[in-house]
């Protein structure tokens, strides 16, 4: 018996392990229930984990954690794998329950496709079972009713596959000659010629493209003048365009490269940006513990409540997301006056987590290599996004002390100053507090509030070198003084790793699971950001599928922003 396909969804994998210990008649009922369920799954919908378990076993689990939503596409594939594994533990006959089993070889002949295509069909919804044939061997087969349902759902695709055959030498030569003529007549590129010839010959675009590329590589007189490797300027342009929402396919056409080449260029740029960072890490004794990562990075202050930004009560947009691009200065000053003394344990946890994440990121950056992998880049970038959220919390803890130092120097309330001076002094207070966060060392008995207040006093003393003149108090209307980009430039990497505030406010308008993936990816609801691998496990998707969902969602966000500006 060949090895079974692997599960994509961890929850279905666990369910399979539990079901294999059940009696044979119970496994048979669960096999039939899984087969009934797989017929009703829609690829684009989300299904709660407890609903899936109930439909298969008849029991509603008491989940300690909130139920996980499983993506229909991955769930359907894993249910088919579950059916195969359960059937392998039973002795199903070729005429089970009045249904006739069709072996894979006969199935391929009947559909006029290859065995490889049958394997692809199994991933696309063709339900197969292991059946005990008269020769005493168990082989994979498909029952007639399952085959009929699959044919009805994908009739056009199956018919196209049935008439497909390998290209003959004459057909390949004809494609090459036609491509040469198109290039000479109107200067058509390899990609454009392949697209036109694919429709004319009834072949896939990539098939024709591969034929032409293979010809040019082995020919002394190639048809197309392929551009060389992407240069530094092109790589930077590709990365900038991708961040602006330009799709990978469009970039591939623009630069006459494959999508894989575009992805590699983007990864090269991501690696270059990370290697250009200087990450300052305060050496804390707690970071040297063997269990430092598991203990420090699991503290409640480090994993949750990371959207509690000082003075943000009136700075939330229609989607509930903090608009860090525009904040009311008077509200920030009032919040600083009302803020309580920061808890020492919370402060120490945030400082430890911030420095641990920077240290882990810096060590991984050194190991990236010349052609960094997407998973390694995603790990580093997620750590830096997380570190930014922790720094923002620390700045909010230290800022009240800096504001008090400003008012002590002025001998007047900060809110009574002219608007331009309020903006200048608040901006300077945020900068000083952010610098103190980079240097604070709790192991030496330093407290953030004291450090920020002292540094702010010294900064103002050096800046003025004179007594501050007393002015009559200025009255400002609430909301009249707006701070631009107050907390979104605390770290240099925010410029390219963070979701723009204007886009973050539109995430709620995305369809599921795109909205959830983007929210969890960037930590938009106060939780720590998640890596693609973590999202894949939570949603039952492959990492590449998670990244594709997020890319498509970010492109849609760019479109929503453009539409909003046009209204």
Q: Are both 465 and 567 inside the same structural domain?
A: no
> pLDDT tens-digit profile of 236-292?
999 999 888 888 888 888 887 888 889 999 999 999 999 998 899 998 888 888 888
Lowest mean pLDDT among 387-396, 465-474, 500-509: 465-474
pTM, to two decimals:
0.65
The residue out of 439, 464, 493 marking a domain boundary is: 493
Residues 343 and 461 in one domain: yes
Write out pLDDT tens, residues 420-476: 888 889 989 999 999 999 999 988 888 999 999 999 999 888 755 444 455 555 677
220 or 434, higher pLDDT: 434
Q: Tell me the C-alpha distance between 182 and 527, whole Å.
A: 55
Angle between helices 532-539 and 374-410 (to 10 degrees): 110
- In-domain check, residue 1: no
Residue ending a domain, among 119, 134, 162, is: 162
**Residue 459 vs residues 115, 276, 432, 435: alpha-carbon distances, Å:** 74, 29, 8, 12
Residue 465 shares a structural domain with residue 534 = no
Residue 189 and residue 315 in one domain: no
| Range name among 70-84, 199-213, 220-234, 414-428 with the lowest pLDDT average | 220-234
Mean pLDDT of the chain: 84
Boundary of a domain, candidates 126, 141, 162:
162
Q: Are residues 260 and 332 in the same domain?
A: no
Does residue 144 share a domain with residue 39? yes
Is residue 5 one of the residues assigned to a domain? no
Instruction: Write the DSSP symbol of residue 442.
Output: G
Same-domain status, 370 and 437: yes
Please count the structural domains in the chain.
5
**Looking at the structure, do residues 41 and 115 belong to the same domain, yes or no?**
yes
Which range marks the domain in which residue 90 is found? 10-162
CATH code for the domain in which residue 511 is found: 1.10.10.10
Beta-carbon contacts of residue 455 (< 8 Å; ≥ 6 apart) = 402, 432, 435, 436
Verify that 397 and 357 share a domain, yes or no.
yes
Distances (CA, A) of 472 to 328, 419, 426: 22, 13, 20
Q: Average of pLDDT values for 342-348?
A: 89
How many residues are recorded in the chain? 567
Q: Given this model, what pLDDT does residue 314 score?
A: 40
**Is the pLDDT score of 482 beyond 50?**
yes
- In a domain, residue 223? The reply is no
> What one-character-per-residue DSSP string does 70-122 give?
EEHHHHHHHHHHHHHHHHHTS-B-TTGGGPPEEEHHHHHHHHT--HHHHHHHH
Do 40 and 134 share a domain, yes or no?
Answer: yes
What is the distance between the alpha carbons of residues 379 and 401, in angstroms, rounded to a whole number? 35
Rounded percentage of the chain residues whose pLDDT exceeds 70: 89
């Amino acid at each position: 018996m060949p090895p079974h396909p692997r599960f994509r969804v961890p929850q279905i994998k666990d369910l399979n392990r539990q079901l294999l210990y059940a009696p044979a008649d119970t496994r048979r009922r669960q096999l039939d229930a899984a087969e009934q369920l797989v017929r009703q799954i829609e690829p684009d919908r989300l299904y709660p984990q407890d609903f899936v378990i109930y439909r298969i076993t008849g029991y509603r689990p008491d989940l300690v954690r909130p139920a996980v939503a499983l993506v229909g596409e991955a769930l359907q594939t894993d249910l088919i794998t579950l059916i195969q594994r359960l059937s392998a533990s039973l002795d199903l006959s070729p005429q089970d329950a009045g249904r006739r089993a069709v072996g894979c070889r006969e199935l391929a002949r009947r559909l006029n496709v290859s065995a490889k295509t049958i394997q692809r069909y199994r991933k696309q919804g063709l339900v197969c079972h292991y059946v005990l044939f008269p020769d005493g061997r168990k082989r994979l087969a498909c029952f007639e009713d399952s085959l009929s349902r699959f044919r009805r759902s994908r009739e056009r695709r199956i018919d196209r596959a049935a008439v497909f055959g390998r290209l003959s030498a004459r057909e390949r030569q004809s494609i090459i000659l036609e491509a040469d003529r198109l290039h000479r007549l109107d200067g058509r590129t390899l990609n454009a010629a392949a697209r036109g010839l694919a429709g004319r010959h009834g072949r896939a675009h990539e098939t024709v493209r591969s034929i032409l590329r293979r010809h040019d590589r082995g020919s002394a007189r190639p048809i197309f003048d392929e551009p060389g490797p992407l240069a530094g300027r092109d790589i930077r342009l590709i990365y900038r365009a991708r961040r602006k929402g330009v799709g990978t396919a469009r970039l591939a056409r623009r630069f006459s490269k494959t999508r894989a080449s575009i992805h590699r260029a983007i990864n090269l740029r991501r690696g270059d940006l990370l290697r250009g960072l200087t990450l300052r890490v305060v050496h804390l004794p707690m970071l040297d513990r063997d269990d430092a990562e598991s203990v420090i990075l699991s503290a409640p202050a480090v994993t949750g409540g990371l959207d509690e930004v000082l003075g943000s009560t009136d700075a939330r947009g229609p989607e509930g997301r903090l608009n860090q691009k525009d904040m009311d200065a008077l509200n920030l000053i009032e919040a600083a006056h009302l803020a309580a003394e920061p808890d020492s344990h919370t402060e120490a946890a945030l400082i430890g987590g911030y420095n641990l994440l920077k240290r882990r990121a810096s060590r991984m950056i050194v190991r990236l290599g010349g052609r960094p992998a997407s998973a390694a880049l995603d790990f580093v970038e997620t750590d830096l996004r997380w570190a930014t959220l922790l720094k923002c919390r620390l700045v909010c803890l230290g800022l009240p002390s800096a504001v008090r130092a400003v008012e002590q120097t002025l001998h007047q309330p900060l809110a009574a100053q002219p608007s331009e001076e309020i903006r200048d002094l608040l901006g300077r207070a945020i900068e000083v507090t952010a610098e103190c966060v980079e240097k604070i060392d709790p192991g030496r008995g330093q407290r953030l509030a004291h450090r920020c207040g002292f540094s702010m006093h010294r900064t103002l003393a050096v800046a003025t070198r004179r007594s501050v003149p007393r002015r009559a108090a200025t009255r400002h209307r609430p909301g009249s003084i707006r701070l631009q980009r107050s907390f979104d430039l605390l770290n240099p990497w925010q410029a390219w790793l963070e979701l723009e505030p204007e886009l973050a406010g539109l995430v709620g308008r995305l369809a599921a699971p795109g909205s959830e993936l983007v929210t969890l990816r960037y930590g938009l609801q106060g939780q720590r950001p998640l890596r693609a691998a973590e999202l894949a496990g939570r949603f039952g998707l492959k990492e590449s599928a998670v990244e594709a969902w997020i890319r498509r969602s970010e492109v849609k966000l760019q479109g929503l922003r453009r539409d909003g500006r046009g209204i």
